C-alpha cells in the first residue's frame, strides 16, 4: 500500500490529543462530608473497573477515528502490477493526432488535452528513462528513444494529421522500433478517442509490454459530411450531358433541414441546392454537366458544418476523352470490311485494324477497347495481350469463328476467361432478352417497345450457364448470344456467333450500334473521380519520364516515383485538393483529385468497456488513467490501475464514531 498524498500523514500526531485528555483529566473536585463512608468505598471499588474499561474503549475509538481519517485523506492505494513507473525501463506514448482529435472539450481540443497528458506521463518517470513519442505519421525519427527534453520538443510539434492508424499498426510500429530495448520492461500508453482504431486483427504482444489506455472523448452529437462522388454514364465526351452523383451523410441522430450545398466546376459555381436529411442516414443527389471541351472537369462540392470541418469539401476530377482508341485483330480469312471498322471509322474514335499475322504491338499501348474478331489461330501472344488490357481496365470483345471447335477455342476460352463452350448449335433462334441493367444497353430504351424485332441466329456456340457473369443478349432457349465475364479491372465480352450474314444479322441490327458505343466508351475510361490522400500507387498513363506534381495554383511541387503503369506518391500529398502532373515542357500529363478519408466522420464516443473488451478478448490486461485526478503524475508513478482504499478507511472511521456514541450512551445509563 502506498499513499497519493503522503505529506498529510503528519496529521497522525493528532492522536496525542485524546491520549493527553485521557491521561490528564483536569477535573475539579468538591469535598462533601459524610459521617460514614464505608458504603461509598464499596461502590467505588465496584465501579472503578467499569470506568477504566469505558475510558479505555473511548480512547481507542477516538485514536482510531483520527488515524483512519488521516489515512483516508492521504489517499491510500494498492498499486497495480501493470505499468509501475519504478519498474518501467522503456516508455512509448502514442498520441492519436487524426482529424477526429480536433473535437472540442471544456479544456480545449482533444489533441491539446492528449499532449498535456502525454507530458505529465513522461514527467512522472525517473530521469534517464527512455521515452518514445508516436503519432500517426510513423516517421523514422519516431522509432528512436529520447530523454524528456527531446520528448517535449517533439510534443510541441504534434499537429493534426489526415492519417489514420489502427491499434494493430501502432504495436507493429513499436515492435519495429525496439532493438537493444527488446528485453526491457516496456510501458505503452495509448492516448486516443479510439474511433475506428479497434480493428479485428491484433499482433501478438510480448509479455514485457504493460499497456495503459487513455480514452479521450468529446461530446459531439452532430456532423454532416460529403462522402463520395461518382458517375454512371459510360460515355464522357464533349457536348454530351452526363450526371455527376454525390452522397451527403448526416451522422447525427437529429434531422437537419435546408443544408446549403455548392458544387463548383472549373472554378465556377455550377449548382447550389438545399438538402434535408434524416438523422443517421444519407442522401444521394446529382447535377447535370455538359463538357464543352476535351479537357478535365475539375469539381469541388462544399458544405458548411461545424465543429468537424475536414469532411466539408469533396474534390473530384473527370477526364473528358477527345477520342476513344479501338483496335481490331481480325482473322486472316476475313476479306470484307468488318462491322467494327464500319462503326469505329468516325471522328469519335481512333481505329486500328490488324490481321492476326501482322500485329504491331507498339500501336496497342494507348488502347481503350480491343476486338478479337474471328481469329483463326488463337495463340499465347493474343491471350497475353487480352489479359494485359483487362488488367488495366480495358474491355475486350471476342467474336468466335465458325471453326472454333477445331482450332482449340473450347479449352482456351475456358482457361483464359472462364467461358465453357459446350457445342455448336444450328437451331434458328431469336434474341429474347436484352440486359438493360448492364451498361452495354443501359439507357438505350426510354420505354420498352412492344413487338421489337430482335436479332436472330441460325448458328451459335452454346455456353455453360455457370461459366459467365452476365447475359448481355439472351436467346429464347436461355442461351446467350452475347455474354461477359469481369476479369481484373476490365470486362471480356464473347459473341457466340460469327458476324457473318450466313449465321446472324446481329452486326446489321440497330442494337449493335449502342452495344459497341457503350462498351467502347466504358472501356479504359472508367475512372475514380478522386482518391484518398493515403493512396500510394496510382495507375495513370504518363508519356514523359521527367515529371513533377503539385496542387493546382501552388508553386510548390514534388517528383513522384514512376512505375511501369503509373506513379508512386510515397506519402508526399498532405492536403486534400486537386493536383496536376506536368512534364518538362509544361504539358499536363494528368490531373488527379485527393480527399481525406471519411473514417472519422461518425460522431459519438467509444465506450470504455468496448476498449477493454477488445484487449481482454485477446488475453491482454490493460490499465487506465483517472483523468480527473489532479495529481495525475503521482497517479501514473504509483500505478495506473491502482486500487483506491480511502473509502474503506472513511467507512471504518464512521463505524468507530458510531461505536463511541453508543459507548457514551451505554455508560451514561
How far apart are the C-alpha atoms of 374 and 383, rounded to whole Å? 14
In the chain, the percentage of residues whose pLDDT exceeds 70 is: 84
Question: What's the pLDDT score for residue 641?
Answer: 45
Bridge-based pairing state of the strands 324-330 and 90-95: unpaired
Which parts of 523-601 fold into alpha helices (H)? none
Sign of the torsion formed by the C-alpha atoms of 636, 637, 641 and 647: negative
Residue 199 has pLDDT above 90, yes or no: no
Report, as an integer, the average pLDDT of 168-190: 78
Question: What's the pLDDT score for residue 166?
Answer: 86
How far apart are the C-alpha atoms of 616 and 314, rounded to whole Å? 39
Residue 525 has pLDDT above 60, yes or no: no
Residue 417 has pLDDT above 50, yes or no: yes
The listed CATH number (3.40.50.620, 2.60.40.420, 3.90.1200.10, 3.40.50.410) that belongs to domain 90-218+605-641: 3.40.50.410
How far apart are the C-alpha atoms of 191 and 121, rounded to whole Å? 11
How far apart are the C-alpha atoms of 621 and 207, rounded to whole Å? 11
How far apart are the C-alpha atoms of 395 and 409, rounded to whole Å? 19
What DSSP letter does each residue of 284-340 carry, written as one string? EEEEEE---SSSEEEEEEE---SS--TTSEEEEEEE--S-EEEEEEE-TT--SPPHH
Report, as an integer, the average pLDDT of 624-634: 56
Helix (H, G, I), strand (E, B) or coil at 605: coil
Residue at grid coordinates 464543352: 292
Taking alpha carbons only, the member of 234, 198, 240, 238 closest to residue 215 is 198
Sheet of 268-277, strands arranged across = 268-277, 256-265, 296-302, 313-319
Q: Which residue has the higher pLDDT, 648 or 646?
A: 648
Question: What's the pLDDT score for residue 668?
Answer: 63
How far apart are the C-alpha atoms of 538 and 50, rounded to whole Å? 95
Residue 218 has pLDDT above 80, yes or no: no
Calculate the CA dihedral of residues 124, 129, 130, 131 and round it to 10 degrees.
10
| Across 21-30, 320-329, 331-340, 474-483, least confident range | 21-30
Which parts of 124-196 fold into alpha helices (H)? 148-156, 167-177
How far apart are the C-alpha atoms of 51 and 667, rounded to whole Å? 8
Residue 449 has pLDDT above 70, yes or no: no
Residue 626 has pLDDT above 60, yes or no: no
Residue 319 has pLDDT above 50, yes or no: yes
Q: Where do the structural domains in the chain lie, given as residue ranges?
A: 2-79+646-668, 90-218+605-641, 224-311, 324-522, 531-595
**Taking all residues of the chain, what is their mean pLDDT, rounded to a whole number?**
84
Whole-model pTM?
0.64
Bridge-based pairing state of the strands 242-250 and 281-289: antiparallel
Cβ neighbours of residue 134 closer than 8 Å, sequence gap 6 or more: 92, 93, 94, 95, 142, 170, 173, 174
Residue 60 has pLDDT above 80, yes or no: yes
How far apart are the C-alpha atoms of 7 and 642, rounded to whole Å? 19
In the chain, the percentage of residues whose pLDDT exceeds 90 is: 39
How far apart are the C-alpha atoms of 599 and 536, rounded to whole Å? 18
Report, as an integer, the average pLDDT of 317-344: 86
Report, as an integer, the average pLDDT of 514-523: 86
Domain 324-522 has CATH 3.40.50.880: yes
Q: What's the pLDDT band for 495 if we cut at 50, 70, 90?
A: very high
| Across 41-45, 123-127, 236-240, 662-666, least confident range | 41-45
Phi/psi for 534 (5° steps) reads -85, -5
Highest-scoring range by mean pLDDT, 377-391, 417-431, 632-646, 647-661: 417-431
Q: What is the pLDDT of residues 233-287, one digit of tens each?
A: 655 666 777 788 999 999 988 999 999 999 898 888 777 889 999 999 999 998 8
Which parts of 209-354 fold into alpha helices (H)? 339-344
Q: What's the pLDDT band for 42 if we cut at 50, 70, 90?
A: low
Q: What's the pLDDT band for 420 if we cut at 50, 70, 90?
A: very high
> Per DSSP, which regions of 170-312 are E strands?
186-192, 209-215, 224-231, 242-250, 256-265, 268-277, 281-289, 296-302
Report, as an integer, the average pLDDT of 472-485: 96
What DSSP letter does each residue of 653-665 carry, written as one string? HHHHHHHHHHHHH
- Give the burial string for 400-418 (b: 16+ CB within 10 Å, else e): bbbebeebebbebbeebbb
Query: Is the link from the previous residue into 663 a cis peptide, with omega within 30 of 0?
Result: no
- For the chain, give the longest Cα–Cα distance: 157
Q: What's the pLDDT band for 561 if we cut at 50, 70, 90?
A: very high
Report, as an integer, the average pLDDT of 162-188: 79
Contact 591, 317 (CB under 8 A): yes
Contact 191, 118 (CB under 8 A): yes
Same fold, 90-218+605-641 and 324-522: yes
In the chain, the N- to C-terminal Cα span, in Å, equals 42
Q: What's the pLDDT band for 41 if we cut at 50, 70, 90?
A: low
Contact 532, 594 (CB under 8 A): yes
Report the length, in residues, of the chain: 669
Q: Which residue has the higher pLDDT, 303 or 641?
A: 303
- Give the burial string for 490-528 (b: 16+ CB within 10 Å, else e): bbbbbbbbbbbeebbebbebebbebbbbbbbbbbbbbbe
Question: What's the pLDDT score for residue 83?
Answer: 46
- How many other CB atoms sit within 10 Å of the CB of residue 304? 11
Cα dist from 394 to 235, 369, 400, 543, whole Å = 14, 6, 19, 18
| All three cell numbers of 344 | 469505329
Sign of the torsion formed by the C-alpha atoms of 469, 472, 478 and 479: negative
Architecture of domain 224-311 in CATH?
Answer: Sandwich (2.60)
Question: What's the pLDDT score for residue 56?
Answer: 81
Amino acid at each position: 500500500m502506498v499513499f497519493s498524498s503522503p505529506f498529510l500523514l503528519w496529521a497522525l500526531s493528532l492522536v496525542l490529543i485524546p491520549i493527553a485528555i485521557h491521561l490528564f483529566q483536569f477535573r475539579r473536585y468538591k469535598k462533601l462530608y459524610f459521617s460514614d463512608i464505608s458504603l461509598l468505598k464499596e461502590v467505588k471499588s465496584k465501579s472503578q473497573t467499569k470506568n477504566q474499561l469505558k475510558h479505555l474503549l473511548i480512547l481507542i475509538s477516538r485514536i482510531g477515528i483520527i488515524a483512519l481519517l488521516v489515512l483516508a485523506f492521504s489517499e491510500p492505494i494498492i498499486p497495480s502490477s501493470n505499468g509501475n513507473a519504478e519498474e518501467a525501463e522503456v516508455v512509448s506514448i502514442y498520441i492519436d493526432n487524426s482529424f477526429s482529435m480536433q473535437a472540442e472539450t471544456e479544456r480545449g481540443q482533444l489533441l491539446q488535452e492528449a499532449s498535456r497528458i502525454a507530458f505529465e506521463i513522461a514527467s512522472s518517470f525517473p530521469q534517464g528513462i527512455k521515452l518514445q513519442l508516436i503519432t500517426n505519421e510513423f516517421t523514422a525519427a519516431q522509432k528512436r528513444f529520447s530523454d524528456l527534453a527531446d520528448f517535449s520538443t517533439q510534443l510541441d510539434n504534434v499537429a493534426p494529421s489526415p492519417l489514420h492508424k489502427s491499434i494493430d499498426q501502432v504495436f507493429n510500429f513499436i515492435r519495429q522500433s525496439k532493438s537493444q530495448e527488446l528485453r526491457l520492461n516496456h510501458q505503452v500508453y495509448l492516448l486516443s478517442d479510439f474511433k475506428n482504431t479497434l480493428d479485428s486483427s491484433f499482433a501478438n504482444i510480448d509479455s514485457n509490454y504493460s499497456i495503459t489506455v487513455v480514452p479521450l472523448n468529446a461530446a459531439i452529437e452532430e456532423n454532416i459530411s460529403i462522402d463520395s462522388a461518382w458517375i454512371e454514364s459510360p460515355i464522357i465526351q464533349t457536348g454530351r450531358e452526363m450526371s455527376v452523383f454525390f452522397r451527403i451523410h448526416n451522422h447525427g441522430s437529429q434531422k437537419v433541414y435546408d443544408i446549403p450545398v455548392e458544387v463548383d466546376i472549373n472554378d465556377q459555381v455550377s449548382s447550389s441546392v438545399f438538402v434535408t436529411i434524416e438523422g443517421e442516414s444519407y442522401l444521394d443527389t446529382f447535377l447535370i454537366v455538359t463538357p464543352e471541351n476535351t479537357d478535365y472537369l475539375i469539381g469541388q462540392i462544399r458544405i458548411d458544418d461545424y465543429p468537424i470541418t475536414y469532411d466539408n469539401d469533396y474534390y473530384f476530377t473527370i477526364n473528358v476523352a477527345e477520342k476513344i482508341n479501338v483496335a481490331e485483330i481480325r482473322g486472316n480469312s476475313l476479306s470484307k470490311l468488318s462491322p467494327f471498322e464500319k462503326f469505329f471509322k468516325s471522328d469519335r474514335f481512333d481505329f486500328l485494324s490488324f490481321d492476326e499475322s501482322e500485329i504491331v504491338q507498339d500501336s496497342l499501348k494507348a488502347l481503350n477497347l480491343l476486338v478479337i474478331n474471328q481469329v483463326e489461330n488463337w495463340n499465347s501472344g493474343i491471350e497475353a495481350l487480352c489479359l494485359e488490357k483487362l488488367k488495366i481496365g480495358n474491355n475486350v470483345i471476342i467474336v468466335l469463328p465458325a471453326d472454333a471447335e477445331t482450332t482449340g477455342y473450347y479449352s482456351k476460352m475456358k482457361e483464359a476467361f472462364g467461358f465453357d463452350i459446350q457445342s455448336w448449335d444450328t437451331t434458328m433462334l431469336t434474341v429474347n432478352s436484352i440486359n438493360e441493367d448492364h451498361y452495354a444497353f443501359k439507357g438505350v430504351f426510354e420505354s420498352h417497345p412492344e413487338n421489337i424485332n430482335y436479332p436472330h441466329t441460325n448458328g451459335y456456340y452454346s455456353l455453360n450457364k455457370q461459366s459467365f457473369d452476365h447475359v448481355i443478349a439472351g436467346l429464347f432457349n436461355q442461351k446467350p448470344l452475347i455474354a461477359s465475364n469481369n476479369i481484373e479491372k476490365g470486362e471480356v465480352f464473347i459473341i457466340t456467333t460469327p458476324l457473318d450474314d450466313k449465321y446472324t444479322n446481329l452486326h446489321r441490327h440497330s442494337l449493335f450500334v449502342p452495344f459497341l458505343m457503350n462498351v467502347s466508351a466504358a472501356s479504359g475510361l472508367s475512372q475514380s473521380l478522386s482518391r484518398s490522400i493515403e493512396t500510394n500507387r496510382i495507375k495513370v498513363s504518363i508519356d514523359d519520364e521527367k515529371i513533377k506534381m503539385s496542387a493546382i495554383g501552388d508553386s510548390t511541387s514534388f517528383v513522384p516515383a514512376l512505375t511501369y503503369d503509373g506513379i508512386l506518391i510515397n506519402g508526399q500529398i498532405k492536403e486534400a485538393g486537386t493536383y496536376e502532373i506536368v512534364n518538362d515542357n509544361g504539358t499536363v500529363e494528368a490531373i488527379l483529385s485527393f480527399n481525406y478519408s471519411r473514417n472519422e466522420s461518425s460522431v459519438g464516443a467509444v465506450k470504455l468497456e468496448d476498449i477493454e473488451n477488445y484487449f481482454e478478448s485477446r488475453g491482454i490486461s490493460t490499465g487506465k488513467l483517472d483523468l480527473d485526478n489532479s495529481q495525475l503524475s503521482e497517479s501514473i508513478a504509483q500505478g495506473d490501475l491502482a486500487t483506491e482504499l480511502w473509502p474503506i478507511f472513511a467507512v471504518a472511521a464512521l463505524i468507530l464514531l458510531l461505536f463511541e456514541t453508543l459507548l457514551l450512551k451505554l455508560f451514561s445509563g
